[in-house]
Amino acid sequence: MKYIRKKTIKPLLMSVCSLSPILFMPLATAASPQPTIKKAICRIEIDNAHISRHELKFGSRRAVIVKARSICNVVQERVSLTVNIYKVERFGNPLLNSFVTDPGKSSSQGKVVTNYDTLVDCENFKRTKFYGIAYAKALINGKWNYAGRTRSPKTIEINCGT
């Protein structure tokens, strides 16, 4: 075995060269733990602006609503969840309405706190773009925590002139 023939070297080199990228790739096995994407302990979820079906049915008026939730993995207390509704205009985006949950009420504690009360009445059917911004302050485990401003995923054009 002192001398190796050329005919055997070439196929051997070709197979080693073609396998080398596979040999050096990290191997994933079923037993190895998969990395999990960790969500924040607390977060704000805000919906897109839309016409309130509840106000159409029971309030007999057309109104734009933006709903928001403060969601936590632990109990939050004395939550003040603020939701602002803005209208898109040519020279700026004016604030139309703002509503803050009452931190003293029992509905302002728990793992999920909602703010479904931020409305703007429609005056006509003119196409207008709206969006919402929400932020919160909550007492969690004896410490104040602040959730930064979260904007609606989309700026929605609605038949609701203000």
User: Alpha-carbon distance 65 to 62, whole Å?
Assistant: 10
Average pLDDT across the chain, whole number? 82
**The Cα angle at residue 150 between residues 63 and 80, in degrees rounded to 5:** 75
- At 23, is the pLDDT very low, low, confident or very high (cuts 50, 70, 90)? very low
To the nearest whole percent, how much of the chain has pLDDT over 70?
75
134-156 pLDDT, tens digit each? 999 999 888 899 999 999 999 99
Beta-carbon contacts of 92 under 8 Å, excluding residues fewer than 6 positions away, are none
Q: Does the pLDDT value for residue 12 go beyond 60? A: no
What tens digit of pLDDT does each residue of 93-126 get? 999 999 999 999 999 999 999 999 999 999 999 9
For residue 136, the cross-strand partners are 81, 147
Delineate the domains of the chain, giving CATH numbers in brackets: 42-161 (2.60.40.150)
Taking CA atoms, 123 is separated from 56, 79, 148, in Å, by 14, 32, 32
Is the per-residue pLDDT at 57 higher than 70? yes
As a whole number of angstroms, the distance between CA 78 and CA 101 comes to 9
pLDDT band at 33 (very low <50, low <70, confident <90, very high): low
Quick one: tokens of 67? 């709903």
**Residue 77 in contact with residue 138, Cβ under 8 Å?**
yes
Residues contacting 140, CB < 8 A, separation 6+: 42, 72, 74, 75, 76, 77
